[in-house]
Each structure stands twice: as structure tokens, then as C-alpha cells.
Amino acid sequence: MNKFNSKTMTLCNKDTVPYLEYNSLKEIKFINHAFSTRLGGVSGGIFASMNLAFNRGDNPDNVTENYRRLCSSAGFDFDSLVASAQDHHTFVRKAGSKDFGVGITKPRDMESVDALTTNEKGVTLVTYYADCTPLFFVDTKRKAIALAHAGWRGTVGRIGQKVIEKMTAEFGTNPKDLVCAIGPAISKCCYEVDKACADEFYNLRDLDNSKFIFPKENNKFMIDLLETNRQILVKAGVNPEKITLSDLCTRCSSDLLWSHRATNGQRGTMCAMMCIKE
């Protein structure tokens, strides 16, 4: 593994079962959070070694053991996990203890869940990534949390805004009380798209697209997913000073993190986890 270098995140337990923490979120004492790496698991072949997806062809016993190892390393209760069912849309699910095991030890009971939120103690939210953008939300006043998966479709669908609207409706969240983190994801250095995709970002007309769309030759464009999501959160009322952007690109750091593009789709999957612990 190349030398880890980040100003926004810390690599924990790097010699056993590594995971990442946001320095800004670590300061919030009532939550626990983690972002997995591709290291420290038991999976083999193209999934070596920390794959957390049951739907990519890996041995499910290996995936389950990977969850157990990550939970032990990062301080989560394996039996408290509640997973998303991502399909690049923008549905936000409120999760509770009644949902323990869904998507992990129990079958998924919904077909389209790209974001999860809760205000219950001890419920661990789980969402998945391999270049797409993780969004972390912590309401420091109401003690509520959320995780969202923002691929390009979810980003232009403003899933970040929809999470905030859900938290406001369910918990009385004021966006000004939110602390948010964005990434790790494929960054503007590596995320090239065609004109049809870029046009979806141009359609976000209330945002400053000069900061997240960068035209190239041959009708190609570089897109900054993190900046796009940051602007969407700010537009939804989040204090810009309370948003942290990861400085890790999944493709550039593909020795540590799973990247769909770096592996041409021959890969495992990472997850974000977060729970209210007190």
C-alpha cells in the first residue's frame, strides 16, 4: 500500500482491519462512524480482501465474515446493521431496531433505498460504494444521523437535499445544525463523462457549474461529484463551514479503496457505517 496521505481522514487499525474516519465527525462524541477499505478481509480473487457486497458473486460466508471483522475493528455491533438497497435513485428510508439485519443477515425488504436515516441509539446504518459519493449527515442538536449514496444520478437527483428534507420531516432537523462529510469518491481528476451525462449536471441551473463541470476535447467532460454535492447541501441550508470534503480519490487510491473504474468493474465494494452510540 502506498503511503496514506489525507488531511481530512484518519486511517485506523492499518495493520489489522483498516478503516477510515473523518476527523471532523470523530469530534462528535455521540456517534460512531467508519468507511471501509479494500483491505483486512477474507475474500479472494477479484474481491480480495475486504468485500462487503453480497450481490457481486463473492462467497456470502466470506462477506459475512468481512462484516464481522470490520465491526470488531471499528466498534460496531454486527447484529445492529441495517443496509441500503441501492439502485442510483433518491429514496430515503427511516431505519430502526425493527430493521436489524436487513440486507446483511436478512433479505432486503425494499428494492430502492439509496439513503438511510435514524434517531434511534444503537442502529448502525450501512451504505455501499466503489467510486460513487458517500454523504454523511449528523444533526448535532436532535441527535439524528443519515448516510446517502450519491452516484451521478443520485447527485443530479439532489439526494442530499432529499435526505435533509426527510430528516426535517421525521426529526425536526434544522439544516443549520447539520455536520456533513462528503466522500471518499472518484474525484475531478479521474471522473470523465460524455456530453449526455454532463448535460444532466448543466441542468442544475441554480448551482455554480463552473466549479464542477470542466470541458475537455472530444466532447468529454471532467465532473467534480464532491463539489456538486457540497453546493446542493449548501443550497439546502447547511452551513458551508460544517461540510468536510474528503481529499482521497478512490481511483487514485485504488490500492487502498475499491474503484469501479480502476478495476474495470472487477472488484469488491466498500461501505460506510454510522450509528448513534449514546
pLDDT tens profile 134-144: 999 999 999 99
- Percentage above 90 pLDDT, the chain: 96
For residue 196, being part of any structural domain is answered with: no
Task: Indicate the number of domains in the chain.
Answer: 1
Tell me, yes or no, whether 20 lies in a domain. Answer: yes
Structure pTM? Answer: 0.98
Q: Is residue 131 part of a domain?
A: yes
Q: Considering the domain boundaries, does residue 183 fall inside one?
A: yes
> What CATH number is associated with residue 172?
3.60.140.10
Q: Which of 19, 37, 8, 147 is CA-nearest to residue 73? A: 19
The answer to whether residue 227 is domain-embedded is no
Any domain includes 271: yes
Question: Among the residues of the chain, which ranges form H helices?
Answer: 23-26, 60-74, 152-156, 159-171, 195-202, 225-235
Sign of CA pseudo-dihedral 57, 249, 151, 195: negative
pLDDT band of 278, cuts 50, 70, 90: confident
Beta carbons within 8 Å of 144's beta carbon, 6+ residues apart: 117, 118, 119, 138, 167, 170, 171, 173, 276
For 241, the domain range is: 9-188+237-276
Residue 25 covered by a domain: yes
Our CA dihedral for 90, 186, 275, 119, rounded to 10 degrees, sits at -30
The single-letter DSSP state of residue 78 is G
Per-residue pLDDT of 27-80, as tens digits, reads 999 999 999 999 999 999 999 999 999 999 999 999 999 999 999 999 999 999
Instruction: Specify if 230 maps to a domain.
Output: no
